């Protein structure tokens, strides 16, 4: 982590990632496309999702989440910053001359070689089928369906733990402690995702969140009674409702929100462990 001298009120509280490992270069142009941020508003221009909007312009890097070039070794050319994700990304050069961006795992560096195949060595960054990964191994960018591309564990510092194999399924432990089964023919990358200290960042000022497209969030108790169930009253006062509710009166606390008929419920072996209230 990198702390700043308090030369301004903003710098006094600003803590950021040390990006010395990142390449000081422009992104690889053929894999970059313009993307106009338009979150938070419907086609009519009215706000349809609160707390979103007003982000600065950013270029989108096309990431390869699947296994396009199987059995072809690839060399890590650069580790780069991606404005659209919390993890770092790596520009890789395959032996056939193709270049792609992939999620950079923790501990990988420029010059290393990775490979994607049905079975290969358990080196950090390599990608292979779950059936060939031993128990206790940390994996990321895991597929939910064979050939679909990685869907699980793609944010900074995240990983799943391989628990074991049974029948046609591999058992994976989520960061939430939930255990889920996935087809053993799905691919996964070895190691944890890079930038594990991302959660320690302190932005230092509200304006930096506005640059990211995060608009202000107002407490319900600070609103008028017509705007929120917690609103109204004089000075600091209690919630005034038996159960916690959102702006529209929907119960939010102590109520299960997952659909009981969701198709993927059958793949959950054990639910996450929650803290017991005193």
DSSP string, 80-122: E--TTSSS-EEEEEETTS-EEEEEPBTT--TT-EE-B-SS---
- The lowest-confidence range among 96-110, 121-135, 179-193, 246-260 is 246-260
Alpha carbons 60 and 80: distance in angstroms, whole number: 13
Whether residue 221 is contained in a domain is answered as no
Each residue's pLDDT tens digit, 177-233? 999 999 999 999 999 999 999 999 999 999 999 999 999 999 999 999 999 999 998
User: Residue 130: its pLDDT value, please?
Assistant: 96
Give mean pLDDT, residues 100-108.
96
- Residue carrying structure tokens 């939010």: 252
How much is the average pLDDT of 48-68? 92
Considering the domain boundaries, does residue 104 fall inside one?
yes
Residue 145 lies in a domain: yes
Percent of the chain with pLDDT over 90: 79
Average pLDDT over residues 108-129: 95
CATH number at residue 133: 2.40.50.140
pTM over 0.75: yes
Residue 70 falls within a domain, yes or no? Answer: yes
- Under 8 Å CB-to-CB from 90, ≥6 apart: which residues? 76, 77, 78, 79, 80, 101, 102, 103, 104, 108
**Inside any domain, residue 147:** yes
Within a domain: 264: no
**Who's near 47: CB < 8 A, 6+ residues apart?**
40, 41, 53
**Strand order of the sheet with strand 187-190?**
127-129, 187-190, 138-140, 160-166, 169-173, 179-183, 268-270
Q: For position 278, what pLDDT does the model report?
A: 52
**Residue 275: pLDDT band by 50, 70, 90 thresholds?**
confident
Q: Residue 97: what pLDDT? A: 94
Name the one residue in this structure whose structure tokens are 């699980």: 152
254 band by pLDDT with thresholds 50, 70 and 90: confident
Q: Is residue 29 one of the residues assigned to a domain?
A: yes
**How does DSSP classify residue 235?**
S
Does 45 score more than 90 pLDDT?
A: no
C-alpha to C-alpha distance for 221 and 230, rounded to whole angstroms: 5
Q: How confident is the model at residue 36 (pLDDT cuts 50, 70, 90)?
A: confident
Least confident among 31-35, 220-224, 233-237: 233-237
What are the b/e assignments for 108-147, b being 16+ CB within 10 Å?
A: beeebebbbbeebeeeebbbbbbeebeeebbbbbbbeeee
pLDDT band at 258 (very low <50, low <70, confident <90, very high): confident
Mean pLDDT in the chain? Answer: 93
How many domains are contained in the chain? 1
* Token digits of residue 97: 């001359």
What proportion of the chain, given as a percentage, has pLDDT over 70?
A: 99
Residue 246 lies in a domain: no
- Position 277 pLDDT exceeds 70: no
Longest dimension (CA), the chain: 70
Domain of 150 in residue numbering reads as 2-198
């Amino acid at each position: 982590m990198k702390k700043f001298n308090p030369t301004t009120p903003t710098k006094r509280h600003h803590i950021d990632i040390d990006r010395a490992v990142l390449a000081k270069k422009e992104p690889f142009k053929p894999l970059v496309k313009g993307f106009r941020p338009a979150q938070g508003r419907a086609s009519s221009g009215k706000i349809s999702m609160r707390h979103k909007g007003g982000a600065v312009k950013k270029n989108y890097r096309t990431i390869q989440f699947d296994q396009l070039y199987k059995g072809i070794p690839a060399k890590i050319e650069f580790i780069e910053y991606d404005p659209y994700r919390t993890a770092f990304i790596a520009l890789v050069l395959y032996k056939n001359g193709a270049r792609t961006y992939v999620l950079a795992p923790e501990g990988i560096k420029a010059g290393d070689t990775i490979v994607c195949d049905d079975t290969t060595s358990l080196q950090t960054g390599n990608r292979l089928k779950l059936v060939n990964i031993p128990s206790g191994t940390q994996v990321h960018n895991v597929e939910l369906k064979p050939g679909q591309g990685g869907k699980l564990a793609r944010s900074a510092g995240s990983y799943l733990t391989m628990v074991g194999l049974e029948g046609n399924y591999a058992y994976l432990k989520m960061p939430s402690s939930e255990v889920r089964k996935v087809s053993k023919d799905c691919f996964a990358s070895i190691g944890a995702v890079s930038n594990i200290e991302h959660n320690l960042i302190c932005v230092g000022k509200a304006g930096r969140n506005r640059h990211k497209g995060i608009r202000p969030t107002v407490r319900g108790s600070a609103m008028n009674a017509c705007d929120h169930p917690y609103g109204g009253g004089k000075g600091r006062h209690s919630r005034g409702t038996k159960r916690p509710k959102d702006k529209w009166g929907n119960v939010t606390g102590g109520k299960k929100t997952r659909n009981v008929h969701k198709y993927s419920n059958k793949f959950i072996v054990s639910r996450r462990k929650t803290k017991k209230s005193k």
